[in-house]
């Protein structure tokens, strides 16, 4: 246990230090966390190593990031963005999937491997997108809502695809009945979530926490975990359940003071402790040794090109056709480009089931890391340059940084 505590201490010291450096450089803190994992992880210096405790904390980091993201999202705005968001999601899945399948086929991958690589390129990491917008203090709520709708829909589509691929790989044949069953499970998930959210969670908050607050934060965690468990049981990633739980914790249901306490505690856990551990841990999975083979290196470059082009153009073009500006369309496209934990989880599943080889696994891990790394850089460059006149007043903001 003492070794794990020492590792945790080192990680937090490095996260705090890189946070100061990257803030002075006016760069997103996420980049510092990713660089710390790569530089101090097994890939280069070998100071940090993944332990069971760090894996658990990283998983909790994803959970709290998504629960806080749901808490900050207004469901009405999300519904207004749903139609265009779904269009962005579909295009952001179709183009990278097609390009990934084509690239894999050109490098002599099997049919199952090609399908799996196409699916892997279709993923968007919601937690990465949330952290980037928070770090950059991006204020365009319409664009943020579009990206959140698209990212949630994107991951649901990806999990349907991986379920179909796993079914094909294990059964050796395509079954319409299996696909239909998957769709029924998705419908059951959202039906159960909305029923519990509207009939139970809303009732609990209205009845017990309007005035005193009580244990509102604990109840929020309970429902977040409950929604995550329901999602997992139905074969959907728990991050979708955590995000949905956050949506139901509305400010109008409880006193403003209680709501602010819940938000403040979630923010601190998400962005000062557990979230950074998750982003540092992404660097633990990068292995450069497999790329000594020129063919594997060329495969990686082709997969990276397909992943970036597929996401940025697929999602961005739909936004552009819907009337968004070039800058907004590009921000949406690049925001959909980060992959992160969901990609790593699905890549691990593919390796476990024998669908992909260790070389392909390393390619997908590196692709997830690189696309996650370049996303905040691209979005920062696309943001309008701020003018810095002398402030006349001090405005309190909820974008407090705890690091």
Q: Which pLDDT does position 390 carry in this prediction?
A: 40
SS3 per residue for the chain: CHHHHHHHHHHHHHHHHHHHHHHHCCCCHHHHHHHHHHHHCCCCCCCCCCCHHHHHHHHHHHHHHHHHHHHHCCHHHHHHCHHHHHHHHHHHHHHHHHHHHHHHHHCCCCHHHHHHHHHHHCCCCHHHHHHHHHHHCCCCHHHHHHHHHHHHHHHHHHHHHHHHHHHHHHHCCCCHHHHHHHHHHHHHHHHHHHHHHHHHHHHHHHHHCCCCCCCHHHHHHHHHHHHHHHHHHCCCCHHHHHHHHHHCCCHHHCCHHHHHHHHHHHHHHHHHHHHHHHHHHHHHHCCCHHHHCHHHHHHHHHHHHHHHHHHHHHHHHHHHHCCCCHHHHHHHHHHCCCCCHHHHHHHHHHHHCCCCCHHHHHHHHHHHHHHHHHHHHHHHHHCCCCCCCCCCCCCCCCCCCCC
Q: Which pLDDT does position 47 carry in this prediction?
A: 86
Q: Which pLDDT does position 389 carry in this prediction?
A: 44
The mean pLDDT value for 75-103 works out to 84
Q: The domain 2-382: what is its CATH number?
A: 1.20.1530.20
Whether this prediction's pTM lies above 0.75 is answered by no
Residue 171 has pLDDT above 80, yes or no: no
Residue 399 has pLDDT above 50, yes or no: no
The mean pLDDT value for 4-27 works out to 85
Q: Which pLDDT does position 395 carry in this prediction?
A: 39
Query: Where are the chain's structural domains?
Result: 2-382
Residue 391 has pLDDT above 50, yes or no: no
């Amino acid at each position: 246990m003492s070794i794990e505590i020492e590792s945790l201490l080192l990680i937090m010291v490095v996260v705090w230090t890189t946070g100061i450096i990257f803030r002075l450089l006016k760069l997103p803190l996420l980049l510092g966390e990713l660089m710390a994992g790569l530089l101090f992880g097994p890939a280069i210096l070998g100071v940090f190593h993944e332990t069971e405790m760090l894996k658990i904390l990283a998983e909790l980091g994803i959970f709290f990031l998504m629960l806080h993201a749901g808490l900050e999202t207004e469901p009405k705005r999300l519904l207004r963005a749903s139609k265009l968001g779904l269009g962005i999601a579909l295009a952001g899945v179709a183009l990278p999937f097609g390009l990934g399948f084509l690239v894999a086929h050109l490098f002599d991958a099997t049919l199952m491997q090609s399908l799996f690589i196409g699916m892997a390129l279709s993923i968007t990491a919601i937690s990465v997108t949330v952290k980037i917008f928070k770090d950059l203090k991006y204020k365009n709520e319409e664009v943020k809502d579009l990206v959140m709708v698209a990212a949630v829909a994107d991951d649901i589509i990806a999990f349907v695809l991986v379920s179909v691929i796993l079914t094909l790989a294990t059964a050796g044949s395509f079954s319409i009945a299996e696909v239909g069953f998957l769709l029924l499970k998705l419908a059951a998930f959202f039906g159960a979530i909305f029923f519990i959210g509207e009939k139970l969670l809303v009732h609990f908050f209205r009845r017990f926490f309007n005035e005193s607050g009580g244990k509102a934060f604990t109840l929020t965690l309970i429902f977040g975990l409950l929604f995550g468990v329901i999602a997992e049981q139905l074969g959907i990633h728990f991050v979708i359940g955590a995000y949905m739980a956050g949506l139901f914790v509305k400010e109008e249901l409880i006193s403003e003071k209680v709501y602010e306490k819940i938000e403040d505690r979630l923010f601190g856990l998400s962005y000062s402790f557990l979230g950074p551990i998750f982003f540092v841990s992404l660097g633990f999975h990068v292995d450069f040794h497999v790329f000594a083979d020129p063919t594997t290196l060329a495969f990686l470059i082709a997969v990276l090109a397909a992943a970036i082009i597929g996401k940025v153009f697929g999602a961005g073009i739909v936004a552009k056709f819907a009337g968004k500006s070039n800058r907004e369309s590009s921000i949406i496209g690049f925001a959909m480009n980060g992959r992160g934990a969901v990609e790593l989880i699905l890549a691990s599943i593919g390796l476990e089931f024998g669908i992909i080889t260790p070389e392909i696994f390393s390619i997908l891990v590196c692709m997830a890391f690189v696309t996650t790394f370049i996303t905040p850089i691209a979005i920062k460059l696309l943001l309008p340059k701020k003018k810095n006149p002398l402030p006349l007043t001090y405005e309190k903001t909820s974008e407090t940084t705890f690091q």
